[in-house]
Each structure stands twice: as C-alpha cells, then as structure tokens.
Amino acid sequence: MTPRSLMAGALILALAPLAVAADTWQVRDDWAELFASQDAQGTLLVVDQREGASTTWVHAPERARQGFVPASTFKVPHTLFALDAGVVADEFQVFPWDGVERGVPAWDADQDLRSALRNSTVWLYQEFARELGEENERRYLERIGYGNAEIGEDLENFWLEAGHLEISAEAQIDFLQRLHRQALPFDEADQRLVKDLMITEAGRDWILRGKTGWSGDLGWWVGWVEWPSGPVFFALNIDTPNRLADIPKREAIVRTALGDLEALP
C-alpha cells in the first residue's frame, strides 16, 4: 500500500497560520453565563468570516489553546487518511460487521463511510488504523500539522480516551478552515467528499457541517456553518463528569451561541 499523496517524495507540511491571531480574540462574558446555565466547564471558540471580514469570539481563551484528546472529531482527518491511502475506495464501500456487540446498536451493523461518521463507529476506524499502520498515521498527522501528532504505543486507540493524540480548539478550527478551502494535502475530490459526509443540517441558504466527539471525560463539537456571505467556524470542548448526562450540553451551548450571532437559525 502506497498512499497517493506520499508518493511525491519529501513531505510538505500543510501548515497555515490561523486566520485570526490569538491577541485579537474577543472574550464573550455572556458565554460564561451560557456555560454556567448548563453547569458546564469548557471553552468555545468561534471564527466568523462572513462579509469578507474575520472576527473571533471566545469563552475561556486559555483553555481554547490547551490540547485534549480529539476523540471522534479525529474521524474527519482519519477519513481523509483512509481515502488517500486506498484503505477505503469511496463512500459506497461496505465494511461487514464482525458480529461483536459493542453496546451501541448503530455500530452492530455493516458500515460505510457515511454511517460510520454519522454514528462514530469506533471499530471501523480502528480497522482503518490497523490498515494504515503506525508509520503512515504519524506521517499524515505530521503532514497536516494535526495537534501534537503523537500516537504512542496503542495504534488502535491513540485518539480515544487516554490516548496520546491531543489538539486544542484553536487548532481544530485551523484544520477546519483548511478543509473548508480544500487546502489540505489531499485530493480535492476526497476533501469534498469528507465535507459532504460532515453535513448534519441544511436550510435554504445555509449548511451546517460538524462532528461530535466524546472521550468519556471530555466532549467536543466542532464544525462550521456555511452562508453565502462566508463560513462561521466553531470548536467547543467541555468536561463531562456526569458522562452521558452531559452530552446534550455540547450542542445546547453551541447552538445558543451561534443563534445569538445569527450564524445558525
């Protein structure tokens, strides 16, 4: 197996500076009240690039720069890795369920890329990791500058709870901005496909693309809303001491914040 984008010889890092420097972030005091109303500890970073401008709002800026395990938000770049390496041919390829019940009914079935991303099917992405191998996983992480690019010794779980891979909300948005522009070092068709797989809602003139993640102790929701006037990117992470009971807080906080900005209906 020879990944398509690694055949050119030396790896070229697709690192790009964030569209808005951290010293221009605007702290939203009202978002502190929003987090408090949900009894949640975490951070929210929003970059609004509508109308040709770029404005960044944040709650808890120090935490927005802190790395955490990405959990299932890593399925977005991981899908690009698998497509590029030929581990998966396209969105129509079906991966048979192995018959092992894992406690999530949606996982206990055959999967394709669309269902696996929608249901955060861990076993399929663990299969991708085995097919890719440690060397390719590390090369891809370094190539796109994803978080600390650390894998550790557990190839099948490095992005999950207690894994070595970490990324900040700030870096999540940097990655999403490059994916939105199709500026990552992957085929344009693959990037377009992954963006399509990320669609969760759409209206007459807007599209919401996103991916949740949960490590057990930490919950993520990252993505962007596309408008004719430009995109609005967001990255939230919160502590989840109450485990599953805390999961709905992710979308509740983001949707309220984006609604206040008239970035999401």
Q: Which domain holds residue 171?
A: 4-8+20-260
Residue 174 belongs to some domain of the structure:
yes
Residue 15 belongs to some domain of the structure:
no
pTM equals 0.92
pLDDT band at 4; cut points 50, 70, 90: low
Residue 109 belongs to some domain of the structure:
yes
Q: Are 253 and 38 in contact (CB under 8 A)?
A: yes
Residue 265 belongs to some domain of the structure:
no
Helices then strands, counting H and E runs in the chain, come out as 8, 7
Q: Which of 37, 54, 72, 120 is catalytic?
A: 72
Question: Would you say residue 21 has pLDDT above 90?
Answer: no
Domain total in the chain? 1
By CB atoms closer than 10 A (0-12, 13-18, 19+), residue 62 is exposed
Residue 249 is inside which H or E element, if any? helix 248-260
**Encoding tokens for residue 19?**
């569209």
Closest CA to 69 of 223, 197, 239: 239
β-pairing, 230-239 with 26-27? unpaired
pLDDT band at 7; cut points 50, 70, 90: very low
Question: Would you say residue 131 has pLDDT above 60?
Answer: yes
| Mean of all residue pLDDT scores within the chain | 93
Residue 47 pLDDT:
98
- Strands, sheet with 199-202, edge to edge from the N-terminal-most edge strand: 26-27, 55-59, 42-48, 230-239, 218-227, 207-214, 199-202
Report how far residue 76's alpha carbon sits from residue 96's, in angstroms, rounded to the nearest whole number. Answer: 21
pLDDT band at 101; cut points 50, 70, 90: very high
Catalytic annotation on 115?
A: no
Region 121-147: mean pLDDT is: 98
pLDDT band at 22; cut points 50, 70, 90: low
Residue 13 pLDDT:
42
Residue 230 pLDDT:
98
Residue with tokens 């399509």: 196
Residue 182 belongs to domain with CATH number: 3.40.710.10
Burial 173-205 (b: 16+ CB within 10 A, else e): bbbbbbbbeeebbbeeebbebbbebbeeeeeee
